[in-house]
Amino acid sequence: MKGSLDFIFRPKSIAVIGATNRKGSIGRELLHNIIDYEFEGKVFPVNPTKSVIHSIKCYSTILDVPDSVDLAVIVVPKELVLTTVEQCGEKGVKGLVMITAGFKEQGKAGAELELQVAALVKRYGMRMIGPNCFGIINADPKVHLDATFSKIRPSFGKIGLISQSGALGEAILAQAQEINLGLSMFASIGNKADIDGNHIIEYWRDDPTVEIILLYLENFGDPRTFSKIAREVSRVKPIIVVKSGKTTQGAAAASSHTGALAGLDVSVDALFEQTGVIRANTIEEMFDVANALAKMPVPKGNRVAIVTNAGGPGILATDALIGSGMSLPQFDQKTVKAIQPILPKGTPVHNPLDLVAGATGVEFRKSLSHVVKDPNIDSVIAICVPPVTIDLNLVADAIIDTAHESKLPMFACFMGVTYGSDAFDRLRQADIPAMIFPESIATTLAHIDKYRRWLSRPEGKIAKIKGDRDKVTEIIARNRKAKNPAVVGDDALQILDAYKIAVAAYKYAFSKEEAAKIAQKIGFPVVMKVNTPHILHKTEYKAVAVDLRTPQEVMEQYVEMQKRIKKAMPNSKEKFSVVIQEMITGGVETVIGMTTDPSFGPLIMFGLGGIYVEIMKDVSFRIAPLTDLDAREMIQSLKGYRLLTGFRGSKPVDIVSIEDAITKLSQLVLDFPDFAEIDINPFIVTADKNNTRAVDARFVLTEV
Amino acid sequence: MKGSLDFIFRPKSIAVIGATNRKGSIGRELLHNIIDYEFEGKVFPVNPTKSVIHSIKCYSTILDVPDSVDLAVIVVPKELVLTTVEQCGEKGVKGLVMITAGFKEQGKAGAELELQVAALVKRYGMRMIGPNCFGIINADPKVHLDATFSKIRPSFGKIGLISQSGALGEAILAQAQEINLGLSMFASIGNKADIDGNHIIEYWRDDPTVEIILLYLENFGDPRTFSKIAREVSRVKPIIVVKSGKTTQGAAAASSHTGALAGLDVSVDALFEQTGVIRANTIEEMFDVANALAKMPVPKGNRVAIVTNAGGPGILATDALIGSGMSLPQFDQKTVKAIQPILPKGTPVHNPLDLVAGATGVEFRKSLSHVVKDPNIDSVIAICVPPVTIDLNLVADAIIDTAHESKLPMFACFMGVTYGSDAFDRLRQADIPAMIFPESIATTLAHIDKYRRWLSRPEGKIAKIKGDRDKVTEIIARNRKAKNPAVVGDDALQILDAYKIAVAAYKYAFSKEEAAKIAQKIGFPVVMKVNTPHILHKTEYKAVAVDLRTPQEVMEQYVEMQKRIKKAMPNSKEKFSVVIQEMITGGVETVIGMTTDPSFGPLIMFGLGGIYVEIMKDVSFRIAPLTDLDAREMIQSLKGYRLLTGFRGSKPVDIVSIEDAITKLSQLVLDFPDFAEIDINPFIVTADKNNTRAVDARFVLTEV
């Protein structure tokens, strides 16, 4: 699917099929835009009912066009689409942008038609954007193509922008214009019947005019491909995404802990975490980050200096920065000494640096020139609240000149002025990211800093693990045959064993005497559990007894448990039996699990056991396959991570053995698509890696 | 301190002392503003070097002004302030607005001068706003006073706005104007040498022109008074606050768990939680909420309907609403039936309601008219993304008319248009809160919904509890005399007992035999703890043994523990002894504590015990005194609350006994300011309230 899309984004000639003269119609606006934006190629209107549109000769069908046509933009009524595409194919058109709507988005019949269109496109070896889209733009002066029906003419810049929503297209272009952010290319991809976001990202990876990629997405057509491409492209061009639709997607009914814990959006978050994609919460945020990245280098660290002419906004900015994980280090002594004479006598020099209210361009210029040289500082925010007495343009100039000379990332925050005011315009013209509220700058810096950390860390490796596949295949087959919805008990632990995930010693006992004998063999203390697949949450039925220390205790407990279970499940015909299992002491209970996202595939989960998972929801997810670094990060990202590193005198547990088990599970689920959900619960981790053990597991099978 | 401030905000005559003609000077701008805004009273410029300023007769000193003067606005140099205030006093001026800066904010000498000014003001029975402030505004057409040096002339509206930061004053006024939000009064309060925010809020409580109160604060001068006033005023007029300075305040070194857990900002959050004050995170947010409250009633519930002409923004809005705790219920069957004919055939009617892209004012009008009648809906967001083909003004009119007729709270979200566009202006003129991004609407609604819930809940009562004060006084005195930094062990438990907080039975043992004997008397199982104040975190030294079941176990453990402690603290001269204590089984460990905020006073904390508190930081804080409802809410607000209400078959614990202990502690700390920090840890709560017990406690004494 790789390859250039130049015939779509850099065509030499375009046909607009369905162009009209009718005021307010899409066909008219589109043709008008192409001409008005001064497309550097030929345009051929096509419409059987006209001979001239917009003073240009109009052709009845595309087959009548005398020249060859690279790109056809189609705005004909839905009913004419198949014929039109067919004719484009015959004509040898290479690319289509299908604006026409009324397909998949309007139910079954539309979806059917869309498939036919896609098949036709494929048959003729064409490529298509749409249907049901807003069109495309290439602002490169060498092309200057605006094949949308937008009212906005974007200026040329570094941004490649993909919008899944056609309706949002206009809104997004307006916002870019509002903050003076230049675009390289824009594509509204609509129903993605052929070309999707992944193709365009791949195309832009190699296009020098696109330096930053922005996406507005509602769903991922092919998240696994996105994951692969994004991981690679993020290394060279930042990708910033607004992914909506968090709450509309219904959570599949889950029968495992892991499934129930996978929130609606964890897969998307995991995907972005693993691929270095910057996830913006709003379109506004997406543009703020893009604007900053377009206009300055990525700061080398999270250390910010604030230079302000007013205390209040300095505090607002400090709060927001610290709250976003940035830091405000104190200035180097050299900087302090250099700045001292600029301030009124006795005023302390600290960060945030409060130039007093009367500060003019001169004081800003002097102090900024020292701050940018401070070795403790990675980026600067210059805040100016316009007092009545100073010329804002001079402050803007001070910021612009210092930023340009020093190359240090610098933001301007002019509170109380409006977009479009003189000083603001000046800053923007000079490519200084300027905002009105300091909080937006803090959020922007935090996003960029997270990206910087992703860039600076090693890529990690996906270990190849060889499990005993035959054994697992046999267990799955046997359980499928028995129509078991899940593999549990002995079988489940056998699966772990087949993939070398250590399991606590255990044996089944069918009488109290046998139980006592087994316990003695395993060694005290032991754990006793009812052996039945029908009891899911064993603690609720008191079907687990721990810390049994003597044969006597084992036998007593056997009898009592039998009574309890009989009472709880009077109609069960299963013969009562128990598992006697080695009791792992001095360890931390954890849970390792897997759940399947309908479009992302297997998601691996890790959490601290019991109540931490179930009530505190302190868990992390990653998409399989995981690198060793992914596994480490998902462990470290837990709030309760400190419980693993030695808390209150307890020994730190062997974290490598958790990473190990996680990556083994990742391999297992890739080897066997039969598992819908998995809980390894508890997985007890101790200081001694040889004593770390899975105690119980459950593999929910996919439906067949 | 109560009373009218009419002589400041509604003066009949004003003197501007320090008025000048000098271009760009504050004295000139201020006088100019008063005249330009057409103040409905007399203005007297005062300046010894001029005879006319701005075509108005100028007086040498205020004593020369022939009329009486209600308010003097002072912009003289710092050096002249004392003389000026003295003369104002002599003249019989009632109120001062001191713009002049150079006081407390500039160090010791300034602070000294500020005290002198305040004393002088008091001596003459005057009241003063400032010094170091931006001035005041009263936009009421009957007054029309703009005594600031701002460039902005606010329009009249419902908002009373207090800004602590002078520098932010201009920025805040600009923002209000940008979103067309009318002001009633504005006050920049500067250093608050006399009048502070509390006085003005009290004044505005009784002023009919102020319906919503906004505050930008950097610190609370007198939070206890604020708490009292805010609790009362919030019931009738919403108070919305931006409180900055979260991260600049240094955390006092804390020696208790509770102290360490009190984040930098918990006291402020607790204050707002208890008083119904709406805490906005940014100035933008503050104005969005104010704008909504100014233009529509508080919705009756959290159920929102979305009507949109585009799927994308509908999803963005849904995400943001659900993420903010709002709900999007399905429409009533009646609504569904009524709307069906408006949509293209077969289109499902659900919430968010997606009118297709071609929807015009007609479709918006029809569908909104049904949605506002739906009994499941409390507020409506109408989203319109401007397509090329429709007239936005007609959509705006549909929204305006339906909102006005139905009285249901309604927001308009016009994505991709700019502030100041026709349709936007139309909405604003018609008092429809209109925004560009759906996320801002969601945040606004969530703030208002929280306020609604606060308004709808009963006020709660502060129970008066009678403790044995003599006993506590004696214990404190004895420990102070012994120079103990904290009251621990027996004494600590005695303090709890004096305030009727139940304590687990315990006794000291000085030999293994005695330990066994006591254990037998208390009843097995028992807990054994080292009896020494020097070991804070006992578990780290294994200085606690639990679940001792026989006299034999008690004696063995006594010997082992003695060895361990000897090894851990070889130089201790304390004789080894232990506490034998009743072991509370089947309960949930909790922690109740107190820490002292330098300005807010005692803060009560509640959390689940052990790791929940220490690693998960799952705790809540409230400012003492607490009502019974405050106590209940702080318990219910824990993430781990489910652990108390019966989890996995365990019985629910007696929550009333926790509320009870919390309110008793609240009383204790109000009775005795001697305690800097308190931990009652663990406080074990069981299903049987008669078995709920404090097991250990520690009272850190204030330094004397």
The CATH number linked to B140 is: 3.40.50.720
Is 90 exceeded by the pLDDT of residue B347?
Answer: no
Residue B104 is assigned to a structural domain of this protein: yes
B384 to chain A, closest Cα gap in Å: 9
Interchain pair A357, B167: CB under 8 A: yes
- CB < 8 Å to A312, chain B: 163-168, 216, 218, 244
User: CB distance A385–B168 less than 8 Å?
Assistant: yes
Q: What is the rounded CA–CA span in Å between residue B316 and residue B331?
A: 20
* Residue A54 domain-assigned (yes or no): yes
Q: Is B481 exposed, middle or buried (0-12, 13-18, 19+ CB in 10 A)?
A: exposed
pLDDT of amino acid B535: 53
Say whether A619 sits in a helix, a strand or coil: strand
- Best of A319, A327, A422, A436 to disrupt the B interface (most B CBs within 10 Å) is A319
3-state secondary structure of B237: coil
Nearest CA in chain B to A416: B171
- Alpha carbons B634 and B606: distance in angstroms, whole number: 7
Report how far apart the first and last C-alpha atoms of chain B are (Å, whole number).
31
What lies within 8 Å, CB to CB, of A303 at 6+ separation is A326, A327, A328, A329, A376, A377, A378, A379
- Flag the least confident range among A24-28, A152-156, A546-550, B345-349: B345-349
Residue B387 confidence (pLDDT): 65
In a domain, B477, yes or no: no
Q: Are residues A195 and A339 in the same domain?
A: no
> What is the pLDDT at residue B260?
61
- The Cα of B12 is separated from the nearest Cα of chain A by a number of Å equal to 27
Query: What's the pLDDT score for residue A250?
Result: 35
B377 CB-near residues (< 8 Å, 6+ apart):
B303, B304, B305, B329, B331, B371, B408
Question: Residue A354 belongs to what H/E stretch?
Answer: strand A353-354
> Are residues B438 and B325 located together in one domain of the fold?
yes
Q: Residues of A418-449 as b/e, b for ≥16 C-beta within 10 angstroms?
A: ebebebbebbbebbbbbbbbbbbbbbbbbbbb
* Contact pairs from chain A to chain B, CB under 8 Å: 201
CB contact under 8 A, A311 and B284: no
Contact list in A for residue B164 (CB cut-off 8 A) is: 312
Which residues of chain B does A250 touch, with a Cβ-Cβ cutoff of 8 Å?
A: none
Record: contact B647-A615, CB cut-off 8 A = yes
pLDDT at site A251? 37
Distance from the A535 Cα atom to the nearest Cα atom in chain B, whole angstroms: 13
Q: Reply yes or no on whether the pLDDT at A220 is more than 80.
A: no
- Average pLDDT taken over every residue of chain B: 89
Burial of residue B595 (CB within 10 Å: 0-12, 13-18, 19+) is: buried
What average pLDDT does the segment B114-139 reach?
Answer: 96
pLDDT at B256: 60
Tens of pLDDT, residues B657-668: 999 999 999 999
More confident residue, A225 or B648: A225
Nearest-CB residue to A415 (from B171, B310, B416):
B171
Average pLDDT over every residue of A569-575? 77
Categorize the per-residue pLDDT at B46 as very low, low, confident or very high, splitting at 50, 70 and 90: very high
Q: Is residue A654 part of a domain?
A: no
Question: Range of A390's domain?
Answer: 297-456
Please, is A365 exposed, middle or buried when counting C-beta atoms within 10 Å of its C-beta (0-12, 13-18, 19+)?
A: middle
Nearest CA-CA distance, residue B508 and chain A, Å = 26
Is 90 exceeded by the pLDDT of residue A534? Answer: no
Per-residue confidence at B538, pLDDT binned at 50, 70, 90? low
pLDDT class of A585 with cuts at 50, 70, 90 = confident
Nearest chain A CA: its distance from B586 CA (Å) = 14
> What pLDDT was estimated at residue A32?
93
Task: Name residue A52's beta-bridge partners.
Answer: A57
Provide the shortest C-alpha distance from residue A574 to chain B (in Å). Answer: 23
Please determine, for residue A264, whether its predicted confidence score (pLDDT) is greater than 60: no
Last residue of a domain, one of B167, B195, B210: B210
pLDDT reading at A24 higher than 90: no
Last residue of a domain, one of B161, B181, B210: B210
Q: Are the beta carbons of B173 and A416 separated by less than 8 Å?
A: yes
Joined together, the tokens standing for residue B640 give 């781990």
d(CA A337, CA A117): 71
Residue A146's closest CA among A22, A287, A16? A16
DSSP state of B262: S
Highest-confidence range of A68-82, B15-29, B623-637, by mean pLDDT? A68-82
Enter the tokens of residue A328: 């405000």
User: What pLDDT does residue B129 have?
Assistant: 97
| pLDDT tens, residue by residue, A451-476 | 999 999 888 888 888 999 999 999 99
Residues of chain B with pLDDT > 70, as a percent, come to: 94
- Of A359 and B503, more confident: B503
* Whole-number Å distance between alpha carbons of B223 and A521: 67
Phi-psi region for residue A634, left (φ > 0), alpha (ψ -120 to 50) or beta?
A: alpha
Q: How many domains is chain A partitioned into structurally? A: 2
Sign of CA dihedral A554, A555, A561, A562: positive
Percent of chain A with pLDDT over 70: 94
Distance from CA of A448 to the nearest CA of B (A): 21
Nearest CB partner across the interface for B167, out of A25, A311, A439:
A311
- B386·A170 Cβ contact <8 A: yes
Q: Output the pLDDT for position B534.
A: 58
Query: Which of B178, B313, B539 comes nearest A168 by C-beta?
Result: B313
The interaxial angle of helices A469-481 and A489-498, nearest 10 deg, is 160
Of A94-103, A662-671, B237-246, B527-536, the poorest mean pLDDT is in B527-536
B519 inside domain: no
The mean per-residue pLDDT over the stretch B580-593 comes to 90
Residue A537 pLDDT greater than 90, yes or no = no
- Residue B389, pLDDT above cutoff 70: no
Residues 6 or more apart whose Cβ sits within 8 Å of residue B312: A164, A165, A166, A167, A168, A216, A218, A244, B385
The 3-class SS string of A578-610 reads EEEEECCCCCEEEEEEEEEECCCEEEEEEEECC
Tell which of A161, A611, A612, A681 to mutate to test the B interface (max B CBs under 10 Å): A611
* CATH number for the domain that contains residue B364: 3.40.50.261
Return d(Cα A585, Cα B102) in angstroms, integer. 67
pLDDT tens per residue across span A318-361: 888 988 889 999 999 999 999 999 887 777 788 999 887 678 89
**Chain A residues touching B251 at Cβ < 8 A:** none
Say whether pLDDT at A236 is over 80. Answer: yes
The arithmetic mean of pLDDT across residues B133-150, rounded, is 94
Domain boundary residue among A210, A242, A258? A210
A175-184 mean pLDDT? 87
Residue partners of B350: CB distance under 8 A and separation at least 6: B330, B331
Confidence of residue A568 (pLDDT cuts 50, 70, 90): confident
What pLDDT shows up at residue A253? 46
Give A218's pLDDT tier (boundaries 50, 70, 90): confident
Chain B residues inside the 8 Å CB shell of A242:
316
A31, A32, A103, A168: best to mutate for the B interface, most B CBs within 10 A: A168
The answer to whether the CB of A13 falls within 8 A of the CB of A95 is no
- State the maximum Cα–Cα separation within chain B, in Å, rounded to a whole number: 102
Residue B636 lies in a domain: no
What mean pLDDT do residues A362-376 have?
95
Q: What is the pLDDT of residues A84-138, one digit of tens each?
A: 999 999 999 999 999 998 898 777 888 999 999 999 999 999 999 999 999 999 9
The CA distance from B167 to the nearest CA of chain A, in Å, is: 6
Which of A3-7, A455-459, A641-645, B564-568 has the weakest average pLDDT? B564-568
pLDDT digits (tens, 9 = 90+) for A469-508: 999 999 999 999 999 999 988 999 999 999 999 999 999 9
pLDDT in tens, B68-85: 999 999 999 999 999 999
> Which chain B residue has the Cα nearest residue A109?
B346
Note whether B478 and B494 are within 8 A (CB): no
Q: What ipTM does the predicted assembly reach?
A: 0.77
pLDDT on residue A166: 75
pLDDT of residue A258: 62
Lowest mean pLDDT among A9-18, A120-129, A184-193, A638-647: A638-647
**Is B240 inside a domain boundary?**
no
Chain A residues touching B346 at Cβ < 8 A:
107
H-run or E-run covering A214: strand A212-217
In a domain, B628, yes or no: no
Instruction: Please report which confidence band the pLDDT of residue A249 belongs to, taking 50, 70 and 90 as the band edges.
Output: very low
User: Can you tell me the mean pLDDT for A394-402?
Assistant: 94
